[in-house]
Amino acid sequence: MAIASLSAAARAESGKGASRANRREGRVPAIIYGHKRAPQSLTINAKELGRLLERIAAEATVIELNVDGATSRTLIREIQRHPFRKQILHVDFQELVAGEKVTVRIPIRLTGSSEGVRLAGGIMDQTLRDLEIRVDPALIPNHIDVDVGALTIGHSIHVSEISLAEGIEVLTDGDATVCVCAIPKAVVEATPAAVEGAAAEAPAEPELIRKAKPDDEEAVEEKK
């Protein structure tokens, strides 16, 4: 389980005007909520938050949020960003309760060297990047490893084939494809235009033209 720390301060003011004022001062408006607590408005240092988000997987990292001296274990549930500027507008935190399962998305990491890639020149194509699971906060994995060593060319691995620790419930469709060892495109088929071009370049057979011999001319006259 990945854990990170972050400091926040409680804020009494709410509304768009107060939020804009906080952003101008370099602070990001936020809120923390949970099963056994009332929602609480917060502010976070924008630079500190930005540095944190650059080095963690936000949805899969437990954040120990220190609010004015009191620490709560949380998950980031939503990050609102400005549509044009590189600016975080708002963050939602969910407080975690021991024994109360949460739904998270965990990154999938392919491990090993595929047999199809090594021996047949195949191409490994990862079609699913994360897995949605339901799990106790204490058992949240940093990532999910999928061994592709035995994968041969033209074959794939599905979600239902992934082995997970006890206590983890998979919510992603079991038939979803995680990765496939694809056949390389070694030969490019000729297009109709290319075929027509080749036909145009082929030399035409010469037409045989010869002057009739005297004997041939006499035979023609007799037929008349």
What φ, ψ does residue 161 adopt, rounded to 5°? -90, -5
Q: Quote the distance between the C-alpha of residue 5 and its chain's center.
A: 26
Q: How confident is the model at residue 217 (pLDDT cuts 50, 70, 90)?
A: very low
**Residue 111 above 50 pLDDT?**
yes
pLDDT in tens, 153-200: 999 999 999 999 999 999 999 999 999 999 987 633 444 554 455 445
Of the listed ranges 57-61, 119-123, 132-136, 186-190, the least confidently predicted one is: 186-190
The CATH number of the domain covering residues in 103-182: 2.170.120.20
Domain segments of the chain as ranges:
2-97, 103-182
DSSP alpha helices (H): ranges in 39-91?
A: 46-55
Using alpha carbons, select from 159, 138, 16, 131 the residue that is nearest to residue 73: 138
Which amino acid is residue 152, in one-letter code? T
What per-residue confidence (pLDDT) applies to 109? 96
Percent with pLDDT over 70 in the chain: 83
**Residue 4 above 90 pLDDT?**
yes
Phi-psi region of 69 (alpha: psi -120 to 50; beta: other; left: phi over 0): left
- 0.85 cut: is pTM over it? no
Query: How confident is the prediction for the chain on average, in pLDDT?
Result: 84
| Mean pLDDT across 74-81 | 94
Assign domain 2-97 one CATH number from 3.20.20.70, 2.40.240.10, 2.40.50.140, 3.40.50.800.
2.40.240.10
What per-residue confidence (pLDDT) applies to 203? 52
Q: Is 97 exposed, middle or buried (0-12, 13-18, 19+ CB in 10 A)?
A: middle
What per-residue confidence (pLDDT) applies to 28? 95
